[in-house]
Amino acid sequence: MPTSSNTADFLHILRERGFLHQCSDPADDLSGLAAAAPGGVLTAYVGFDATAASLHVGHLLSIMALRWLQRTGNRPIVLIGGGTTKIGDPSFRDTTRPMLDDSQIAANAAGLRRVFSQYMSFGDGPADAVMVDNADWLDGLDYVPFLRDVGRHFTINRMLSFESVRQRMEREQPLTFLEFNYMILQAYDFLELSRRYGCLLQMGGSDQWGNIVNGIELARRVERRELFGLTTPLLTTASGTKMGKTAGGAVWLNADARSPFDFWQFWRNTEDADVGRFLRLFTELPLEEIARLECLEGAEINEAKIVLATEATRLCHGAGEAERAASAAGSPFAPDGDGLPEVTLRCEDGADGVPLVDALVAAGLSASKGAARRLIREGGARLDGQPVTDEAATLTASAVLSAGRKRHVRLIVTA
């Protein structure tokens, strides 16, 4: 049941687990935000533009923040940016986003919606999550009345002062008038959600701080509403890499974009120095257990990485997929390769089989044929667990193909 401490509990979790970067509440203990929530129940939202058919690991901090919001008895709103995607957020981008048509945006939005049901419970209850699309109100706006009623509260001077805009201007990179309107529309979203759902808080990554502050100021000027903003930190790995970026591209959350096994492997390959931090942010394990795991050293740190990989995969893909991924990683050379990602290759007419070098590249285990040959020469290529050192080897039957001891693919060879 909701209690007056729901909002305070949520904010405490964000602080102790490392989610909190900035908050518009001037009080150090965030007591102003906690006191503003009616009955102690806080309604908050995060917006996700439909620029791709899946979200990726870079979005997980915001998704986990919404999950903790609901777990503490508060009400999360997932805002799909069907309207704002038509413009594209220019924040900290060097170039204008590609323009998508309505059918592409609708297809992408459908892909985005699939992941949220894994992290939140949607319904009509006081703490059930709500999913809305800002196209519902943005598409129907009349341009001149909108400029008169909303646009007059934004000065060009202030908009030019935002870091994301200033960087584009200093680099003499184009910033279109269309993009320039994005921050106004996002501010209007916050006002509209406060009107429709009593939303008091907008959350997002640290790159969204300027856009969030615009919404707070718009609500104050138009309706004297007190709204709040909160951002999560920009995450980088211990080696300085942006979180979720790999040599193979983004780490997608949808299973049809990245298999649960590959998702599990991403977390299993976490750098030692990041394990404790990622356990706090991307799992729900008690902090006492995390403290034990992050103190492990040497080969024992692998235990913590396996826990991280399994817990993160469980949240994203379900317990069954997490268990299958962990099992497949632990015994990758089982005869059927159960749980491994599959790649099907066809023998060319008249060929005796598929060249091993080609198979490594096609399976994504090597970036080029040259890299594949080096892998073979160095003893890193394996078939069903056995090293293959012949660069001219061909595959005539299905097998588990590996690069090293962590990356595995079930290769299916057809005539």
Task: For residues 69 and 199, give the distance between their C-alpha atoms in angstroms, rounded to a whole number.
Answer: 13
Please state the rounded mean pLDDT for residues 169-189: 78
Please state the rounded mean pLDDT for residues 116-136: 92
Give the side-chain half-sphere CA count within 13 A for 331.
8
pLDDT at 349: 61
Q: What are phi and psi of 283, to 5 degrees?
A: -135, 170
pLDDT at 2: 42
pLDDT at 380: 84
Cα 274-13-199 angle, rounded to 5 deg = 120
Question: Which one-letter DSSP state was computed for residue 353?
Answer: S
Q: Which CATH class is domain 259-330?
A: mainly alpha
Tokens of 13: 């979790």
Question: One-letter amino acid identity for 226?
Answer: E
> Does residue 203 or residue 410 have the better pLDDT?
203
Cβ atoms 194, 78 nearer than 8 A: no
| pLDDT above 50: residue 134 | yes
Provide the residue ranges of all domains of the chain, joining segments of one domain with +: 6-232, 259-330, 342-413
| pLDDT above 60: residue 305 | yes
Tell me the fold of 6-232. Rossmann fold (3.40.50)
Nearest-Å Rg of the Cα atoms of the chain is 24
Task: For residues 359 and 369, give the distance between their C-alpha atoms in angstroms, rounded to a whole number.
Answer: 9
Q: What are phi and psi of 117, to 5 degrees?
A: -65, -20
Tokens of 357: 């070098």
pLDDT at 311: 96
Number of Cβ atoms within 10 Å of the Cβ of 291: 13
Cβ atoms 232, 202 nearer than 8 A: no
Tens digit of each residue's pLDDT (9 = 90 or more) over 57-100 = 999 999 999 999 999 999 999 999 999 898 876 665 555 567 78
pLDDT at 335: 41
Highest mean pLDDT among 72-86, 237-251, 350-364: 72-86
Q: What are phi and psi of 244, to 5 degrees?
A: 95, -5
CATH of domain 342-413: 3.10.290.10
Q: What is Dmax (Cα atoms) for the chain?
A: 77
Same fold: 259-330 with 342-413: no
Q: What are phi and psi of 15, to 5 degrees?
A: -70, -45
Highest mean pLDDT among 66-70, 145-149, 172-176: 66-70
Query: Does 245 belong to an annotated binding site?
Result: yes
**Residues with Cβ < 8 Å from 46, sequence gap 6 or more?**
62, 63, 65, 66, 76, 77, 78, 79, 202, 203, 204
Cβ atoms 308, 270 nearer than 8 A: yes
Question: Which one-letter DSSP state was computed for residue 157?
Answer: H
Number of Cβ atoms within 10 Å of the Cβ of 232: 23
Question: Which one-letter DSSP state was computed for residue 348?
Answer: P
| pLDDT above 90: residue 151 | no
Query: Does 188 belong to an annotated binding site?
Result: no
Run of H or E including 108 = helix 102-119
pLDDT at 90: 63
Cβ atoms 226, 36 nearer than 8 A: yes
pLDDT at 333: 46
Which CA distances in Å does 12 have to 69, 102, 204? Answer: 11, 41, 17
Please state the rounded mean pLDDT for residues 108-127: 91
Give the pLDDT band (50/70/90) at residue 408: confident
Q: Count how many residues are written for the chain.
A: 415
Give the side-chain half-sphere CA count within 13 A for 401.
32
Q: What are phi and psi of 12, to 5 degrees?
A: -65, -45
| pLDDT above 80: residue 275 | yes
